[in-house]
Structure 1
């Protein structure tokens, strides 16, 4: 009799454990689980997209944070064909962007660099020149060009500043990936409408 009671209790305990495990598994699968936000569903492209990422090597350890964040975010937005190019400094980015755009291999080009005081040029001049040249490239070639070329007003060669700008470039990488993907989606729709004679 005692053995039957013990077996019944074991079976009851096992059933309760199984229910708890099922409930936990369901919660982990459920998108409405408190504290866990579901991953956003990004729209897919009708045609494959290929992006060129042109990065300056000046302060590479800071600028590469932009590239790392960009690659992760752009992949989440269904763009996995990204070719990375490195140039000496931001001043060299526009020419590379123009040559890449003229190949017609890329549906978009992204530029990343950090322009700081130093050398024979004022950093504001370099940054303005780079941004204007990148705008000229996209208007001449109709290949969208995105800029994460930053020029901080106050930049010091200190650990605190480097750490701040690493985090800042990571944020910029996500933002430029979002802008790139959304623009490419918009252009894909627009070109489809133009081809269909809707616009």
Structure 2
């Protein structure tokens, strides 16, 4: 089944419109890579009527710390959406699948419990090597993820607002 994607104007906030604030929570592990997502998101969200001043930035140690921070932010009632960004890699000491699954499942639980949309740009590659090729690939990929999560965030927030109060 093909589903058409709406044009930007269908979920862009007009000038002067009240836009719900967005919280962007970023893990600091592999900061040089994950920073690409934050920068890309802040640039892309402006295409939907937001400004970078509408986004509050938060940093946590690692991806495992993101869900609790996201939950507290959602519970505050100050945000129309929470965006999470991080990179969970196989460091060879533990099975990163456990951390990845815990983080992703917890982010879903946060949005279901708080009724605040939570978007994941937490990447969990099966294999990651700390070489130039992988680092370059994931830096570029996080640029793409930042654009994608900005679009998903703006679209979802706009659609939820059209449904009325919670």
Task: Give distance in 1, aligned partners of 2:82 and 2:32.
Answer: 21
Task: Give distance in 1, aligned partners of 2:91 and 2:13.
Answer: 43
Task: Give distance in 2, aligned partners of 1:51 and 1:110.
Answer: 7
Q: 2:23 aligns with which of 52, 66, 84?
A: 52
Task: Give distance in 1, aligned partners of 2:87 and 2:61.
Answer: 11
TM-score, normalisation: structure 1: 0.74
Q: 1:93 aligns with which of 66, 69, 73?
A: 66
Quick check: which has more Rg, 1 or 2?
1
Task: Give distance in 2, aligned partners of 1:133 and 1:119.
Answer: 23
Report deviation, 1:120.
5.0
| 1:191 alignment partner, SS class | coil
2:43 corresponds to 1:72: yes
| 1:148 alignment partner, SS class | strand
| 1:91 alignment partner, SS class | helix
Could you report, residue by residue, the CA deviation over 1:60-93 in whole angstroms, capped at 9, with x for unpaired residues? 0000000000001111211220001000100000
| 2:22 alignment partner, SS class | strand
Give the superposed CA RMSD: 1.8
What is the aligned residue count?
A: 155
Report deviation, 1:144.
0.3
Residue 120 and residue 191 in structure 1: after superposition, are their counterparts in 2 closer, same or farther (change >3 A)? farther
| Aligned equivalent of 1:25 | none
Q: Give the structure with the larger helix fraction.
A: 1
Task: Say whether the 8 Å CA contact 2:22–2:83 is kept in structure 1.
Answer: yes
Gaps of 5+ in 2: 1-7
| 1:107 alignment partner, SS class | strand
Task: Give distance in 2, aligned partners of 1:164 and 1:89.
Answer: 21
| 2:142 alignment partner, SS class | helix
